[in-house]
Amino acid sequence: MMRPSMRIALALLAGTIALAPASAGLRAVYIDLAKSKQLQIEVADNGDARIAEVGSDDYGLLIAGEFYVVDVERGEATVARIRDVAAAIDSVLPPIFKGLFDQGGKAAPSSRLTIEAGEPGSAGGRNGTVYHVRGLNDVQPDKVTDYLISNDPDLKPVGVALEQFMNAAIVPAAPLIGSGTRELIEETRAIFALGTPIDIDGRFRLNLVAKTDIVPARFTLPGKPMSVAELAEAMKQSMAQKPVPDAPQPK
């Protein structure tokens, strides 16, 4: 029979586990002025991160250096690791990524861009340097886009999560833009190599960043990630369901 003192000790232990305080973390909020939306990034003290548009059920998770996209529909979550999505695309279409997202694989910074350091600036209470970037617009290669970049150490994990989130938005476009997908990732790599963007041409801007307590469960995958084979099969089915354009009729 369990002694009363032992039962009390176990009860106290269970209560301690159930009421374990949230771990310290960082929350950053960006405002997308063009779309009137907000993007929230939560970073745990170990570097794991969760990123999502405020009000959206879908989100991204950066766990131990791997980025996952979580698509929630009718309460059901579908999970995919971004490098598996890239591998699936390469297995269905002529290869574009060629192992780019494998462990150790990374895009070289773009050599097409011209980057010039400019004046100091600030956003969301953080200081940075404006960089004038040319080469992002193929039609107008001399058009300048201004990036306010911060090297604040607190923001480094925010920048890592934001870069991965942007890559996750680019990868699914590969079937439409082909090799241009890799070029976009290389351009993203070049810009984030400078630091963490806190203002992009006045359209996407850091609003606030603050220390906060975050529940560890927010950095847990809600399900098993789809395999490369499952992702490839889903892509094939999606492509097969697309309507075939009508053949032109002879005049």
pLDDT digits (tens, 9 = 90+) for 71-103: 999 889 999 999 999 999 999 988 888 877 765
Q: Chain-wide mean pLDDT for the chain? A: 85
Alpha-carbon dihedral angle through residues 201, 187, 229, 60, given to the nearest 10 degrees: -30
Angle value at C-alpha 230, between 228 and 232, nearest 5 degrees: 65
Q: How confident is the model at residue 186 (pLDDT cuts 50, 70, 90)?
A: confident
Confidence of residue 25 (pLDDT cuts 50, 70, 90): very high
Which of 145, 190, 167 has its CA nearest to residue 100? 167
22-233: what fold? outer membrane lipoprotein receptor (LolB), chain A (2.50.20)
Place 60 in a pLDDT band, splitting at 50, 70 and 90: very high
Round to the nearest angstrom and report the end-to-end CA distance of the chain: 94
In the chain, where the domains are located: 22-233
What integer pLDDT is reported at residue 162 of this predicted model? 96
Are the C-beta atoms of 213 and 23 separated by less than 8 Å? yes
Is residue 114's pLDDT more than 70? yes
| pTM exceeds 0.95 | no
One-letter amino acid of 152: D
